[in-house]
Amino acid sequence: MESSFRGRKNHATQNVMAAVDFDLRFTYVLAGWEGAAHDVVVLRDALERENGLHVPQGKFYLVDVGYGAKPGFLPPFRSTRYHLNEWGNNPVQNEKELFNLRHSSLRITVERAFGSLKRRFKILDDATPFFPFQTQVNIVVACCIIHNWVINDDIDELVMGPNESIIQDNDTSTVGQPNDHAWMVQFRQGLADQMWADRQNHHGN
């Protein structure tokens, strides 16, 4: 069983799926899945739980391509450059690159939240935890709760800046019906097209 907890790292890890708002607060945390678990499997579990992850009506989460495109979850375009600059030596070339650039600029919030969390709670980076597994799961959740309390009280000195050092796989990995996936793919393309048109019009003026 321990082998299933060995993901991309050599030591055993657990998979933690989290949703973060733009104030760097953790709004949902699901800990305890083995490190080798696929993102889609973890997401399915989160959505199927009685008090699991809920997407507010008309809203969506920005996710990486491992989760796939589906109603409520908006990934970047696969096989398209992601970390870019809109201007300078590495500008965007088309609507998909522009979409991925802006997707990245928003999702950096996730890395900032996890960065401050791990800076504060060094136990989360312990490669050889000596607590029972369920205690390890509880520690992750507890750390996120305390992190939110610190953020709410505006006393955080460990938050990473926006320029400091986000969920990658196949867009065809979906949770839900094929039509849901197709709808979200079309919705994403529409957003990208509108962003590109607005950018072109701005430069034209």
- Indicate if the alpha-carbon torsion angle 76, 82, 85, 89 is positive or negative: negative
Instruction: Considering only residues 70 and 29, tell me which one the structure prediction assigns the higher pLDDT.
Output: 29
Within a domain: 123: yes
Q: Three-state secondary structure along 92-123?
A: CCCHHHHHHHHHHHHHHHHHHHHHHHHHHCHH
Using pLDDT thresholds of 50, 70 and 90, give the confidence band for residue 81.
confident
Residue 65's pLDDT is what? 84
pLDDT band for 14, please (50, 70, 90 cuts).
Answer: confident
Rounded to 5°, angle at Cα 100 from 98 and 105: 95
pLDDT band at 123 (very low <50, low <70, confident <90, very high): confident
What is the per-residue pLDDT for 10? 55
In a domain, 183, yes or no: no
Residue 186 belongs to a domain: no
The reply to whether 91 falls in a domain is yes
pTM for the full predicted model? 0.72
Domain membership of residue 49 (yes or no) is yes
pLDDT of 169 strictly over 70: no
Alpha helix stretches (DSSP H) within the chain: 39-48, 95-120, 133-152, 178-204
Please provide the distance, in angstroms rounded to a whole number, between the alpha carbons at the two ends of the chain: 61
Q: Is residue 37 part of a domain?
A: yes
Task: Tokens 């949902």: give the residue.
Answer: 28
Kindly state the tokens that stand for 46.
């989160």
Domain count, the chain: 1
Q: Inform me whether the pLDDT recorded for 139 exceeds 60.
A: yes
> Do 10 and 128 meet the contact criterion of CB atoms below 8 Å apart?
no
User: What confidence category does residue 205 fall into, taking pLDDT thresholds of 50, 70 and 90?
Assistant: low
pLDDT band at 163 (very low <50, low <70, confident <90, very high): very low
pLDDT exceeds cutoff 90 at 45: yes
More confident residue, 76 or 125: 76
CA distance 16 to 145: 14
Domain that holds residue 114: 2-61+80-165
Distances (CA, A) of 46 to 4, 18, 28, 130, 175: 19, 10, 9, 27, 11
